[in-house]
Amino acid sequence: MTNVTTTAAPVGETADPAPRKPQQRGDTRARLLAAAQELFVSKGFHATRPQDISRAAGVGHGTFYLHFKDKQACFLAFAEEAAEALETYVDSHSADDLQPYDAIRESIRLTYAFSQAHPGLLAAALTDMSVIDGGEGGSILMGRWGIQWGERLAEWQADGKVSPDIDAAYIGYAIPGMIRQTGELAAQKEALENEPLDALMAFLAAGLGLTRPEETH
Protein backbone atom coordinates (compact mmCIF):
# COMPACT_ATOMS: atom_id res chain seq x y z
CA MET A 1 0.00 0.00 0.00
CA THR A 2 1.42 3.37 -0.98
CA ASN A 3 0.65 6.29 1.26
CA VAL A 4 0.95 9.95 0.42
CA THR A 5 4.22 11.34 1.70
CA THR A 6 3.70 14.36 3.88
CA THR A 7 6.29 17.10 4.17
CA ALA A 8 7.34 18.62 7.43
CA ALA A 9 7.82 22.36 7.71
CA PRO A 10 11.29 23.30 6.41
CA VAL A 11 14.09 23.36 8.94
CA GLY A 12 14.90 26.92 9.92
CA GLU A 13 11.45 28.24 9.01
CA THR A 14 10.04 29.98 12.06
CA ALA A 15 6.49 30.71 13.03
CA ASP A 16 5.19 34.24 13.20
CA PRO A 17 6.99 36.22 15.93
CA ALA A 18 3.84 36.91 17.94
CA PRO A 19 0.67 34.89 18.48
CA ARG A 20 -2.03 35.80 15.99
CA LYS A 21 -5.39 37.01 17.11
CA PRO A 22 -8.23 34.53 16.37
CA GLN A 23 -9.58 36.70 13.54
CA GLN A 24 -6.15 36.95 11.92
CA ARG A 25 -5.68 33.17 12.10
CA GLY A 26 -9.12 32.68 10.60
CA ASP A 27 -8.36 35.06 7.75
CA THR A 28 -5.09 33.28 6.98
CA ARG A 29 -6.76 29.88 6.97
CA ALA A 30 -9.46 31.20 4.65
CA ARG A 31 -6.79 32.52 2.27
CA LEU A 32 -5.01 29.17 2.31
CA LEU A 33 -8.24 27.31 1.59
CA ALA A 34 -9.12 29.71 -1.23
CA ALA A 35 -5.70 29.11 -2.77
CA ALA A 36 -6.01 25.37 -2.22
CA GLN A 37 -9.38 25.33 -3.95
CA GLU A 38 -8.02 27.07 -7.02
CA LEU A 39 -5.04 24.71 -7.23
CA PHE A 40 -6.89 21.46 -6.48
CA VAL A 41 -9.45 22.36 -9.15
CA SER A 42 -6.94 23.44 -11.79
CA LYS A 43 -4.04 21.04 -11.11
CA GLY A 44 -5.46 18.15 -9.08
CA PHE A 45 -4.35 16.75 -5.72
CA HIS A 46 -1.01 15.19 -6.64
CA ALA A 47 0.24 18.12 -8.73
CA THR A 48 -0.46 20.60 -5.92
CA ARG A 49 2.22 21.05 -3.27
CA PRO A 50 1.83 22.74 0.13
CA GLN A 51 4.37 25.36 -0.91
CA ASP A 52 2.27 26.12 -3.98
CA ILE A 53 -0.74 26.74 -1.75
CA SER A 54 1.29 28.94 0.61
CA ARG A 55 2.70 30.94 -2.28
CA ALA A 56 -0.71 31.45 -3.86
CA ALA A 57 -2.11 32.56 -0.51
CA GLY A 58 0.71 35.06 -0.04
CA VAL A 59 2.04 33.54 3.19
CA GLY A 60 5.25 31.82 4.24
CA HIS A 61 5.50 28.07 3.70
CA GLY A 62 5.72 27.43 7.44
CA THR A 63 2.38 29.16 7.94
CA PHE A 64 0.68 26.35 6.05
CA TYR A 65 1.59 23.93 8.84
CA LEU A 66 0.13 26.21 11.51
CA HIS A 67 -3.29 25.50 9.98
CA PHE A 68 -2.99 22.04 8.40
CA LYS A 69 -1.09 18.94 9.43
CA ASP A 70 -0.32 18.08 5.81
CA LYS A 71 -1.68 18.35 2.28
CA GLN A 72 -4.27 15.65 2.87
CA ALA A 73 -5.70 17.57 5.84
CA CYS A 74 -5.89 20.67 3.67
CA PHE A 75 -7.65 18.72 0.93
CA LEU A 76 -10.21 17.32 3.37
CA ALA A 77 -10.91 20.85 4.65
CA PHE A 78 -11.35 22.05 1.06
CA ALA A 79 -13.71 19.16 0.30
CA GLU A 80 -15.73 19.90 3.43
CA GLU A 81 -16.09 23.55 2.40
CA ALA A 82 -17.22 22.51 -1.08
CA ALA A 83 -19.80 20.14 0.40
CA GLU A 84 -21.12 22.79 2.76
CA ALA A 85 -21.32 25.32 -0.08
CA LEU A 86 -23.37 22.92 -2.20
CA GLU A 87 -25.65 21.93 0.67
CA THR A 88 -26.23 25.59 1.62
CA TYR A 89 -26.99 26.46 -2.00
CA VAL A 90 -29.50 23.63 -2.38
CA ASP A 91 -31.17 24.33 0.97
CA SER A 92 -31.44 28.08 0.37
CA HIS A 93 -32.95 27.68 -3.11
CA SER A 94 -35.37 24.83 -2.36
CA ALA A 95 -39.00 25.40 -1.49
CA ASP A 96 -40.35 23.89 1.72
CA ASP A 97 -42.81 21.03 1.96
CA LEU A 98 -42.29 19.64 -1.53
CA GLN A 99 -43.58 16.16 -2.28
CA PRO A 100 -40.84 13.56 -2.92
CA TYR A 101 -40.88 13.76 -6.72
CA ASP A 102 -40.52 17.55 -6.75
CA ALA A 103 -38.07 17.55 -3.83
CA ILE A 104 -35.75 15.06 -5.55
CA ARG A 105 -35.98 16.79 -8.91
CA GLU A 106 -35.26 20.20 -7.40
CA SER A 107 -32.32 18.90 -5.38
CA ILE A 108 -30.74 17.33 -8.46
CA ARG A 109 -31.45 20.40 -10.61
CA LEU A 110 -29.80 22.68 -8.06
CA THR A 111 -26.80 20.36 -7.80
CA TYR A 112 -26.30 20.60 -11.55
CA ALA A 113 -26.75 24.39 -11.42
CA PHE A 114 -24.16 24.71 -8.65
CA SER A 115 -21.72 22.53 -10.57
CA GLN A 116 -22.12 24.62 -13.72
CA ALA A 117 -21.61 27.83 -11.73
CA HIS A 118 -18.40 26.45 -10.18
CA PRO A 119 -16.65 24.46 -12.94
CA GLY A 120 -14.45 21.67 -11.66
CA LEU A 121 -15.17 22.31 -7.98
CA LEU A 122 -17.26 19.24 -7.21
CA ALA A 123 -15.16 17.01 -9.45
CA ALA A 124 -12.07 17.97 -7.44
CA ALA A 125 -13.83 17.66 -4.07
CA LEU A 126 -15.12 14.20 -5.01
CA THR A 127 -11.65 12.80 -5.66
CA ASP A 128 -11.51 9.14 -4.70
CA MET A 129 -9.62 8.70 -1.43
CA SER A 130 -7.61 5.80 -2.87
CA VAL A 131 -5.95 8.36 -5.14
CA ILE A 132 -4.95 10.33 -2.06
CA ASP A 133 -4.00 7.87 0.64
CA GLY A 134 -3.78 4.48 -1.07
CA GLY A 135 -6.69 3.20 1.01
CA GLU A 136 -9.70 1.16 -0.02
CA GLY A 137 -11.13 3.95 -2.11
CA GLY A 138 -14.36 5.83 -2.31
CA SER A 139 -15.20 9.48 -1.94
CA ILE A 140 -15.89 10.75 1.56
CA LEU A 141 -18.44 13.23 0.21
CA MET A 142 -20.23 10.64 -1.91
CA GLY A 143 -20.61 8.51 1.19
CA ARG A 144 -21.84 11.49 3.21
CA TRP A 145 -24.44 12.42 0.61
CA GLY A 146 -25.44 8.78 0.21
CA ILE A 147 -26.26 8.57 3.91
CA GLN A 148 -28.26 11.80 3.71
CA TRP A 149 -30.27 10.54 0.73
CA GLY A 150 -30.88 7.22 2.50
CA GLU A 151 -32.23 8.98 5.58
CA ARG A 152 -34.46 11.13 3.41
CA LEU A 153 -35.87 8.12 1.57
CA ALA A 154 -36.44 6.28 4.85
CA GLU A 155 -38.48 9.22 6.20
CA TRP A 156 -40.63 9.29 3.06
CA GLN A 157 -40.97 5.53 3.20
CA ALA A 158 -42.22 5.71 6.79
CA ASP A 159 -44.81 8.25 5.62
CA GLY A 160 -45.92 6.01 2.76
CA LYS A 161 -44.62 8.40 0.10
CA VAL A 162 -42.16 6.02 -1.59
CA SER A 163 -42.35 2.31 -2.32
CA PRO A 164 -42.14 0.07 0.76
CA ASP A 165 -40.25 -2.49 -1.33
CA ILE A 166 -37.00 -0.55 -1.71
CA ASP A 167 -34.01 -0.62 0.63
CA ALA A 168 -33.74 3.08 1.45
CA ALA A 169 -30.14 2.88 2.67
CA TYR A 170 -28.81 1.14 -0.45
CA ILE A 171 -30.77 3.24 -2.93
CA GLY A 172 -29.91 6.43 -1.08
CA TYR A 173 -26.23 5.51 -1.26
CA ALA A 174 -26.55 4.98 -5.01
CA ILE A 175 -28.29 8.26 -5.84
CA PRO A 176 -25.23 10.58 -5.59
CA GLY A 177 -23.37 8.29 -8.00
CA MET A 178 -26.29 8.39 -10.42
CA ILE A 179 -26.31 12.20 -10.28
CA ARG A 180 -22.58 12.39 -10.90
CA GLN A 181 -22.43 9.87 -13.72
CA THR A 182 -25.50 11.24 -15.47
CA GLY A 183 -24.06 14.74 -15.32
CA GLU A 184 -20.72 13.55 -16.71
CA LEU A 185 -22.41 11.83 -19.66
CA ALA A 186 -24.50 14.92 -20.35
CA ALA A 187 -21.34 17.04 -20.46
CA GLN A 188 -19.62 14.60 -22.81
CA LYS A 189 -22.50 14.53 -25.27
CA GLU A 190 -23.37 18.22 -24.82
CA ALA A 191 -26.93 17.30 -23.92
CA LEU A 192 -29.81 19.71 -23.71
CA GLU A 193 -30.17 21.43 -20.34
CA ASN A 194 -32.93 19.22 -18.88
CA GLU A 195 -32.02 15.99 -20.67
CA PRO A 196 -29.98 14.37 -17.85
CA LEU A 197 -32.47 15.52 -15.22
CA ASP A 198 -35.47 14.17 -17.14
CA ALA A 199 -33.75 10.83 -17.78
CA LEU A 200 -32.73 10.39 -14.16
CA MET A 201 -36.13 11.40 -12.80
CA ALA A 202 -37.94 8.96 -15.10
CA PHE A 203 -35.82 6.15 -13.66
CA LEU A 204 -36.11 7.27 -10.03
CA ALA A 205 -39.86 7.86 -10.27
CA ALA A 206 -40.40 4.33 -11.54
CA GLY A 207 -38.00 2.71 -9.10
CA LEU A 208 -39.13 4.60 -6.02
CA GLY A 209 -42.83 4.48 -6.83
CA LEU A 210 -43.11 8.27 -6.93
CA THR A 211 -46.21 10.06 -8.10
CA ARG A 212 -45.44 12.68 -10.70
CA PRO A 213 -47.25 16.02 -10.38
CA GLU A 214 -49.22 15.54 -13.61
CA GLU A 215 -50.51 12.22 -12.32
CA THR A 216 -52.35 13.88 -9.43
CA HIS A 217 -54.89 15.57 -11.71
Per-residue pLDDT tens over the stretch 110-131: 999 999 999 999 999 998 876 6
Nearest to 8 by CA among 57, 55, 51, 53: 51
Per-residue pLDDT tens over the stretch 174-210: 999 999 999 999 989 888 889 999 999 999 999 999 9
Per-residue pLDDT tens over the stretch 25-34: 569 999 999 9
pTM for the model stands at: 0.80
Q: Note the CATH number of domain 22-68.
A: 1.10.10.60
For the chain, which residues make up each domain, given as ranges?
A: 22-68, 74-211
Instruction: Yes or no: say if 105 and 212 are a contact pair by the CB < 8 Å rule.
Output: no
Per-residue pLDDT tens over the stretch 82-107: 999 999 999 999 998 899 999 999 99
At CA 148, angle to CA 196 and CA 70, rounded to 5? Answer: 95
Identical topology for domains 22-68 and 74-211: no
Positive/negative CA dihedral, 101, 103, 104, 109:
positive
Per-residue pLDDT tens over the stretch 30-86: 999 999 999 999 999 999 999 999 999 999 999 999 999 999 999 999 999 999 999
3-state helix, strand, coil in the chain (%, to 5): 70, 0, 30
Q: Look at domain 74-211 and name its CATH class.
A: mainly alpha
- Phi, psi angle pair for 13, to nearest 5°: -80, 125
Nearest to 152 by CA among 198, 115, 106: 106
